[in-house]
Chain A
Amino acid sequence: MSWLTQAAKGIKALTSQKKDIPDNLWRKCPKCSEILYHRELDRNLWVCGSCGHHLPFTTEQYIGLLFDEGTWAETHRGITSKDALDFKDSKRYKDRIKASRQKTGKEDAVITGRAQIGRIPVSASIMDFSFMGGSMGSVVGEKIARALLDSLRHREAAIILSRSGGARMQESLLSLMQMAKTSAVLARLRKEGIPFISILTNPTTGGVTASYATLGDINVAEPGALIGFAGPRVIKQTIGGDLPEGFQSSEFLLEHGMVDIITERRNLKENIERTLHWFVDNRDISVLRPPRG
């Protein structure tokens, strides 16, 4: 293990310790402005008790929520961004990466692993919005592609939980190509009869929506999430007018046929488990239904 990863681990421990003693015991719901007590929020899986708004959940919280206890094993660690374009806006891309790694204790905007959901084995990728807006560059594309290849190799269902502003601008064309890369592996899963469940959470936009996030055999969304291709601001500018009420929300996508299921966070695991059961062998849920012939 390099000293960098060690350092990153150390930082991770620090931040998680810090979370146990929040500076701020109270949070304001961004939707209904209700003041929420943090213990109450924890109990409620960070869903506002007053209006049902789903506040951001951390990657660790999702791992705890989705997978059977003790089954999560992280894969593909140690893949980190390289500034291939030597990109600099108001800050250097290199520095933005460094700052994000320090802030989040993560290597990049996705964590991959293998785990079980109701004893059904899965290969999963959990995106993280707190790392540069969950943007997809070479690292995210590579890790997700590898996690999908794991699904192919082990013949187990693939799960990706998305929350992302889209492709990472600082890697421009390389980021764009990650859309093709991940989608290309999904084509193989499809051919081999391996199910893919895409979970869309707030927000999922741009190149992530326009690649794997909408390609699930089943697309599942948390309520009230912003999901779309172009950002609402861009569309507003383009059309020069106001957007319809509820535009690009999970509910809007369900109505327009883009997602299968909207589920509250507290039912997320149960709903995914239920759909997974449909794909596995009746006598042995640890294996997928074998292909015909």
Chain B
Amino acid sequence: MDWKKKGLWLDFEMPIVELEERIQTLQDSASVRGMDVNEEVERLRAKASKMGKDIFAKLEPWQRVQLARHPRRPTTNDYIHFIFDDFVELHGDRMFRDDEAIVAGMASLGDRKLMVIGHQKGRDTKSNIRRNFGMAHPEGYRKALRLMDMAVRFDRPIVTFIDTPGAYPGVGAEERGQAEAIARNLREMSDMPVPIICIVTGEGGSGGALALGVGDRIFMLENSIYSVISPEGCAAILWRDGAKSKEAAKNMKLTAKDAQKLGVLDLIIGEPIGGAHRDHEAMSREIKRVIQETLAELEVIPINELLDQRLQKFLDIGVFEESGKS
């Protein structure tokens, strides 16, 4: 990754990036002249770290949206690379075509073998076109379902990585039953007799995100978001003004903390200072630890109990008032 490309940084990160550049320059020139600058470097590093903490402690919801969509943010393939061994990608829904907006395959993690599925965004225009910006068609969700079914038949747990603006809204998608493909995944995932862990890593956009999001545990990375529609879409509909996205983002309560307060989340996975994109490897290590711990926890629960708990988990989601009796 080219860390110098300024276009790929967000405005509010620039102070940290600039400070880090200064550290780099100092180290470079010191090594050329054989000077000892360790003390100064340490001091600047501490400053950068504090600056990072301060900036990230008071992020606006809209800034979280930007971080969740950060062009440098790790994608599913990055996580797969750092977390799992022996990944074998599998392709196609056996009905129409292979949808590259979703990657899926067999993998191992220590002694465990599992099925890994996630939305895949691109990093540049070319790869984003190939990945359709992480917006799946029905065949993507059907590929996911086919492989989850296989995981069930061979008693392998499932881990999903959620990072999509939403299901693709197009003519072909509607013709091939986008709604039904999503709905079927919701129904099937709710009752699959293997442990399922769902991790929102970036954008948890609407039904397209939820189609990989029904499981025993729902986790969100600290700077990920999860909502029923994009802030832009919400602004266009409710404010009739797409420019009100910031206001919409604030109202929609789409951050990980909000999701936890609403009773949807099981855990927020902390990100490295400055966000997951600052250290893909450290982020992956943390996710790996959480997956391993959670699987150990889920594996000992008898399967019927696990399924009852999963159903109850979703039955419990919702906030309303109830008066009297029916």
Chain A residues engaging chain B, CB cutoff 8 angstroms: 1-2, 4-5, 74-82, 84-85, 87-90, 138-139, 141-142, 145, 167-181, 183-188, 190-191, 206-207, 209-215, 228-231, 234-235, 238-239, 243-244, 247-248, 256-258
Contacts and interface: CB of A to CB of B under 8 A. Distances in A.
Contact of A169 (B173, B174, B180, B237): B237
Given A213-B179, A235-B174, A239-B170, A174 B311 contact: no
Interface stretch (B4-12, B14-22, B225-233): B225-233
B51 interface: no
Contacts of B206: 167, 176, 207
A190 B187 contact: yes
Contacts of A215: 180, 183-184, 187
Given A77-B324, A229-B173, A89 B238 contact: yes
Given A75-B326, A207-B228, A238-B169, A180 B213 contact: yes
B3 interface: no
Contacts of B214: 180, 183-184
B55 interface: no
18 contacts: A78-B325, A139-B318, A145-B315, A167-B229, A169-B229, A169-B252, A173-B228, A180-B314, A184-B190, A187-B188, A187-B191, A207-B206, A207-B228, A210-B180, A214-B177, A214-B180, A229-B174, A230-B167
Contacts of A247: 171, 174
Nearest to B185: A183
A258 B138 CA distance: 13
A181 B171 contact: no
B309 to A, nearest CB: 12
Contact of B228 (A4, A169, A181, A230): A169
A175 to B, nearest CB: 5
B69 to A, nearest CB: 17
Contacts of A213: 179, 183
B311 A185 contact: yes
Given A175-B228, A247-B174, 20 more contacts: A1-B324, A2-B324, A79-B322, A85-B251, A85-B252, A85-B262, A90-B238, A170-B238, A173-B262, A176-B206, A176-B226, A181-B314, A181-B315, A186-B187, A209-B183, A211-B183, A214-B183, A215-B187, A228-B179, A257-B177
B138 to A, nearest CB: 9
Number of contact residues on B: which range applies? 35 or more
Given A80-B323, A89-B251, A210-B207, A173 B186 contact: no
A69 B250 CA distance: 49
Contact of A209 (B173, B179, B254, B325): B179
Nearest to B205: A176
Contacts of A167: 206-207, 228-229
Contacts of B173: 229-230
Contact of B254 (A74, A79, A173, A239): A173
Contacts of B237: 169
B264 interface: yes
A213 B180 CA distance: 9
Contact of B186 (A174, A211, A239): A211
A184 B314 contact: yes
Given A76-B326, A209-B179, A238-B170, A184 B234 contact: no
A234 B321 contact: no
Given A210-B178, A229-B207, A183 B186 contact: yes
A65 B314 CA distance: 33
A174 B318 contact: yes
